[in-house]
Structure 1
């Protein structure tokens, strides 16, 4: 989705989509990951952590009845999720670690000037630069 306007459904690009699974346990089984690999986040799965965190957040958003969209600019900036809540379009960025620099989210915010954004990561709750910081474990309460 390159244009962000309400209603989001009218502007989605049906040729650009992401596929998520509804059960993270099955995802890990499909990838042949052991429970200890996930619990202790061993370094060998670093390349997979981001996708797994994003999939987890998608499941939580879906459980809370949000339709999820994502945004990608012509220059490759990407925001993981855009949701519509209380008449506002809210960008959501997902990070699998506490290094939460999100250049793409900044590009989105500078372009569309949302009321606020949400950034999920391993950091604790907070608020900085018009972004609500939410720990990944609390994605269900977005």
Structure 2
């Protein structure tokens, strides 16, 4: 991996002998993408909870199930297709392997299962600290999954 001075771009040499340039997304861009995705998830949950509010206690249970599925499945579902959630797509960010290749399904699942660890103790504090102290802005889930 070559680094050319102060720019944030990294050049990775593939086995074929070709260099590719990767620019890791920083804390600000990733935060904006997260906020966009948070708003989308919130609007989806609002629509579902409004719809199920007519079903009484059963509706509350269905809303909780929907909350669980959306909280855990939203990122996995979108990143599985092309490495981008709608928020990442707006900011032209993509999840890839450390070597620049598309992330596999297992890598996407691992990075998203470790998302709660990044949220400790509150508000993505640990994830932000880890991201700020490495040049590739990787959070805990990215380190475990080998993604960027």
User: Smaller-chain TM-score range?
Assistant: under 0.3
TM-score (norm 1): 0.26
| Greater helix fraction, Structure 1 or Structure 2 | 2
TM-score when normalising by structure 2: 0.25
Q: Which structure's CA Rg is the greater one? A: 2
Structure with the larger strand share? 1
